[in-house]
Chain A
């Protein structure tokens, strides 16, 4: 895992489009419209090692999809440089396509009316595999990902979970070195999500495939990716191991208290503590650890409440990520 799969330096992408100016006539709007320029990606740099599992996250409109589409050769950068497996995606799009796989969560690449095997054969031919190689690879993938129960069913009859699995398998037909996934678990139930994540981990382990994933699902990031890159307003905000993400950005801890008395009016809390939940059976207090330590907070709370039980735990990753997004407001 020491070779760079992806190297991005000073990458930027702007989109310009005409906008209607209601204060001028339609002729000016038609022939000489005002042009608005939006910088979707602004001078980002990072690299990804071969076999790494990277989450590329950010709020809506942050520039994730734009970046992933520049990495796969769909979009041309406005400036900067990209090397994916040593190739420039803009100039070597077809060559690169043989080495990468892509899954776009909201768009299917499968043939809806025909059995999944037809899609696999179809893409095998597209990726220039011989008939023998295609048969062998289908068998291999079918065994690896347990497709036996639905491989002969028409794709449109598959459940969403099975379809997403099939999408990944199709994108692996040519043994890509990197797989780019753009919000792949969108719409999946918890069981399907788990099975999907297991599948990706398996690919990564068995075939050393680099995984580059964008997702809004914290579970995808936590359970799949060892590294997280955060992008917001087109700029790179954080790039660190996922575990450190929690450690670095935990500004709060939670305390669940099961009181043994009931309150009609809840007592005021000292500075650095605030209520998250106030109920008869359970009180949750958030500690701002920059203002008050856990020990001090516990002591003060025990002065105020008579407790049956108490539990201290970290803020979840979702809150941490939200804090990161919110600490980088719009430019």
Chain B
């Protein structure tokens, strides 16, 4: 038993070392080229800022409350959605498609790594620097501009936020990886990606905070993997204190389900690898 444990620990340490090297390398790459951070910041300010202004106006028309939710909660929920989206986890679908089309997948399959975990670490590394900088600056800016809701001062807020973000990262990666792997069968995954991505955006609260959804749609947002990948937006809601365990459970379920789906798809896909050239 002990040799197995030792071997597992060694493999785990290898994965972590490679992962941290990928992230470290990509963060350096981003620091080298600060233009990317500026583009991300501008995108965040443009999209999130405009929506917040619109919401502020709508909430004011409705005496500061819509469907039992205040503007303060809606603003933070929306900010969390956009901050999470700066991680650009959705990009893994397109990266996988590019790897398959260009044949880069073959180069990576010659390396002593798992292609999937390599791509996932890479994707996290791609957006991490922008995510950290924008989140930090955004939190300070938003706290000054609109204030901090009481729900964020609850003791469970930070620990559950961390858990939900990590599970959200995993679920998003698995979900979008599964979409990307479809490129082994259908050359152009864009239509599938578009449907999945828009569903995630809608059910995740990109256009409208989930708290304002009609009942049926709210249920769909909670129980579907698309909405579950964005539960980070729920952490500021009044109901979070009583619902967090259920929602973490839903996330865990979808993470496991999509992990299995992704691994099965990849095992099938490996046999579909063909070659460019003769």
Q: Please list the residues of chain A having a beta carbon within 8 angstroms of any beta carbon in chain B.
A: 15, 40, 58-66, 69, 72-76, 93-95, 97-98, 100, 102, 104, 107, 109, 111, 113-114, 118, 121-122, 125-128, 182-183
B108 to chain A, nearest CB (A): 8
Contact B28 A118 (CB under 8 A): yes
CB-based contact B21/A122 at 8 Å: yes
Q: Which of A58, A93, A182 contacts B109 (CB 8 A)?
A: A93
A100 touches B18 (CB 8 A): no
Q: Which residues of B contact A40 (CB under 8 A)?
A: 275, 278
Which residues of B line the A interface, CB within 8 A? 14, 17-18, 21-22, 25, 28-29, 32-33, 102-104, 106-107, 109-113, 270-271, 273-278
Partner of B275, one of A65, A102, A118: A65
- With a cutoff of 8 Å between Cβ atoms, the chain A residues found around residue B113 in the complex are 94, 97, 126
Contact status B112-A98, CB under 8 Å: yes
Distance of B184 from chain A, by nearest CB (Å): 12
Given A60-B278, A65-B275, A69-B275: A74 and B29 within 8 A (CB)? no
What residues of chain B lie closer than 8 Å to A62, measured between beta carbons?
278
Given A65-B277, A128-B14, residue A73 in contact with residue B110 (CB < 8 A):
yes
> Which of B18, B113, B277 lies at the interface centre, i.e. has the most chain A CB atoms within 10 A of its CB?
B277
CB nearest to A125 among chain B residues: B21
**Could you list 19 examples of A-B contacts with CB < 8 Å?**
A15-B274, A60-B278, A61-B278, A65-B276, A65-B278, A69-B275, A74-B275, A75-B273, A75-B274, A94-B112, A94-B113, A97-B113, A104-B106, A107-B102, A113-B29, A113-B33, A114-B25, A122-B21, A122-B25
Are the C-beta atoms of B278 and A126 separated by less than 8 Å?
no
Least CB distance, B66 to chain A, in whole angstroms = 45
B270 contact set on A, CB distance < 8 A: 76
Check if B274 sits within 8 Å of A97, measured CB to CB. Answer: no
Q: A residues within 8 A CB of B107?
A: 102, 104, 107, 109
Query: With A64-B278, A114-B29 as given contacts, are A107 and B104 in contact (CB-CB < 8 Å)?
Result: yes
